[in-house]
Amino acid sequence: MDASTSRGFKRPPRYNDLIDLILPPKRRKVDLSRYTSKHDEDTEDRPIATICGGAQQRKPKRVKGKTGKFAFILRAPTEIVLQIMSHLWPVDILNLSYADKELRAMLTAPENKFIWETARANVPGLPYLPPDFTEWAYAKFLWVNICDVCGARVYMKEEMAHVRVRLCAKCSEAYLLDLYMLRHRYIALHWDRAGLLPNDRHRYFEPGAQRLALRIDEMGEGPEFQKWEKDRRELVVEAAKHGYILERWIRETKQAAKDHVSALQSKRKETILDRLRSLGHDQRDMEAKEFLRHRLLNTSEEITDRNWPRLQKSLEQLLERIKSGRLEAEHQERNTNALKALYCDYWESLPNDVEKYTMPPVLDFMEFQSCKRLLVRCSTPGSDLCAAFLDALIEITREIQKFRANVREDLFFRWVDYEGSMSVMPWANALKNDFTRYRFLRRATTVFVCSQCGESQPIHYDSLFSYSFHPHCEQKGMQYPNLALKWSDIQRLLRAKLDPNEVMESIVKRAKLDTDTATIGDLDRLGAVFSRPNEDRPRGKIGWRELYDELMMLRT
């Protein structure tokens, strides 16, 4: 906008040059009177026939000016008008200037400059009026959320304080140039004259660069141009200093606005919660994420007796839905815990340790299809879960056997991978059935170790889930039947290594058992029959597990 028009205060020409360069060209106003026919003027106030056959009178035009709703400002005494204006912000005066031509003429007159100065003083921390803006243009730049190029809605950003133009995202991408493109397109012969344009970290407004290039070509290199260039550099330096101050003010204003909105939202939320609490709603439902994140709670509108009834109805419907889901989830959790307790009882009733320690972990057990169907059948209140568990026990047992077969297959292929890494002749594993895998994995010499626990703890198939698989110690709360791991997690921890296998083979040979058929059960039944291999230790017989520890210690 031209600073010398009737809407702004007149300034020296050097200030007008910068405004001409940073703002896009004006659009021509189209005179619509020549497109209006005489017939339209004659029929403008004529009644219009409606569908029902009656007549509908046109709405009267809004009256502005001396007889409009702002007429009191023009007719009121000067002291009263000035008293009113002393409480306004520049954006309020800007809106008044848009409302009426006479008001605009009065507010933009040079002798009424003090009105704008007083309004600027009312804004906390607002920077001073820069030399490249008029009062009217400064207020428009700060508070009118419209792109100066395309008219799209856009909020103030910190970088706009340096470019001196309010741009939307699309126009920023289209009209902001970096320093390289600026020199390449417009001022290649005068690269040092990039300082004649306001910029945000060497990003320049393209229409301003075009006009600057035209101005340089028109004026030439005479004394007049040198004087103009000197004045313009001073103006850009002043605008840049003001830009940093304005950027900080914009940032602080945004943060203050966010804090204010956050405070209003917190106050609204507390008011709503207090009212709902007094109506007897459960605190657990009001603490649900779905409720606390609902849009009705996270706005800044104040709660009043007028808007509360409608709001109360919507919130109570939401709370009823949350309560229904919570009760259903609590019932499901009770059934899940009860099913885990039944699992523990079933585990305790198993006849031997081999059955117990090859039983699926509780987390895998809960994912059996039979267990899921059992929970669905008992989802209604009053259902007998224990009786339903006994009815489904045959199906559950079938899934347990299937799970054990899958575990044996996974362990066997892990052993095959180990032998392949040791360059041992690979097994014809495609011909191996589950029974042969079971016999192979039960051998005392088929041993695995946990990657987190080191090699000090031998793991066999018959005692597979008897460990907590904890890196430092055995945690009783995590052992069977409350093992807090799934088989997929345990499988990734298991390794077959050379030293543990050789140690177990030597133990079986010391026990004078067959290495192809001996199990850890056979070793356990022997008891403490082994001599200590370490002479530094006290004399006496030890079991095979202690012997394994001492042999591994000697190897390390």
Least confident of 58-67, 118-127, 339-348, 365-374: 58-67
User: Which pLDDT belongs to residue 142?
Assistant: 92
pLDDT, tens only, 479-493: 677 788 899 999 998
Question: In whole angstroms, what is the distance from residue 487 CA to residue 363 CA?
Answer: 9
**Phi and psi torsions of 530, nearest 5°:** -100, 140
Reduced to 3 states (helix: H, G, I; strand: E, B; else coil), residue 265 is helix
Least confident of 220-234, 278-292, 301-315: 220-234
Show me where the domains of the chain are located: 13-25+63-252, 259-330, 400-555
User: Which pLDDT belongs to residue 62?
Assistant: 54
Question: In whole angstroms, what is the distance from residue 115 CA to residue 519 CA?
Answer: 100
Contact (CB, 8 A) for 139 and 88 = no
Residue 395 host element (H or E): helix 393-421
User: Which pLDDT belongs to residue 63?
Assistant: 47
CA-CA-CA-CA torsion for 548, 552, 554, 556, nearest 10 degrees?
-170
Nearby residues of 475 by Cβ (< 8 Å), 6 or more positions away: 468
Q: Residue 7 — very low, low, confident or very high, per pLDDT cuts 50/70/90?
A: very low
Cα–Cα nearest to 126, from 111, 113, 141: 141
pLDDT at 516 over 50: yes
Whose tokens are 């008044």? That residue is: 96
pLDDT, tens only, 414-461: 888 887 777 655 555 544 688 888 999 999 999 998 887 777 789 999
Question: In whole angstroms, what is the distance from residue 261 CA to residue 241 CA?
Answer: 31
Question: In whole angstroms, what is the distance from residue 459 CA to residue 454 CA?
Answer: 11
Q: Residue 43 — very low, low, confident or very high, per pLDDT cuts 50/70/90?
A: very low
Q: Which tokens belong to 452?
A: 């987190």
Tell me the HSE value of 124 on the side-chain side, using a 13 A CA sphere: 5
Q: What is the mean pLDDT of residues 253-258?
A: 92
Residue 328's CB: how many other CB atoms inside 10 A? 12
User: Which pLDDT belongs to residue 58?
Assistant: 52
Tell me the HSE value of 30 on the side-chain side, using a 13 A CA sphere: 4
**Phi and psi torsions of 25, nearest 5°:** -65, 150
CA-CA-CA-CA torsion for 64, 68, 69, 74, nearest 10 degrees?
100
Strand partners, 205: 176
User: Which pLDDT belongs to residue 14?
Assistant: 42
What is the CA angle 46-50-56, rounded to 5? 45
CA-CA-CA-CA torsion for 239, 243, 245, 249, nearest 10 degrees?
140
Question: How many angstroms separate the Cα of 309 from the Cα of each of 81, 305, 314, 435?
Answer: 41, 7, 9, 72
Q: Which tokens belong to 32?
A: 């619509």
User: Which pLDDT belongs to residue 11?
Assistant: 44
Q: What is the mean pLDDT of residues 381-393?
A: 89
For the chain, give the percent of residues with pLDDT over 90: 43
pLDDT averaged over the chain? Answer: 82
Contact (CB, 8 A) for 450 and 466 = no
Rounded to a whole number, what is the distance in angstroms from the first to the last CA of the chain?
85
Determine the length of the chain: 556
Q: Is the dihedral of CA 55, 59, 61, 63 positive or negative?
A: positive
User: Which pLDDT belongs to residue 202?
Assistant: 83
Q: Residue 346 — very low, low, confident or very high, per pLDDT cuts 50/70/90?
A: very high
Nearby residues of 505 by Cβ (< 8 Å), 6 or more positions away: 445, 515
User: Which pLDDT belongs to residue 470?
Assistant: 58
Burial of 132 (0-12, 13-18, 19+ CB in 10 A): buried
Strand partners, 146: 153
Question: In whole angstroms, what is the distance from residue 22 CA to residue 207 CA?
Answer: 7
- Output Rg (C-alpha) for the chain, integer angstroms: 43
Spell 81-118 as b/e; 16+ CB within 10 A means b.
Answer: beeebeebbbebbbebbebbebbbebbbeeebeebbeb
User: Which pLDDT belongs to residue 67?
Assistant: 54
pLDDT, tens only, 153-193: 998 888 889 999 999 999 999 998 888 777 777 665 455 67
pLDDT, tens only, 214-244: 888 888 778 888 898 899 899 999 999 999 9
pLDDT at 324 over 60: yes
pLDDT, tens only, 76-132: 787 888 888 889 999 999 998 888 788 888 888 888 889 999 999 999 999 999 999
User: Which pLDDT belongs to residue 340?
Assistant: 92
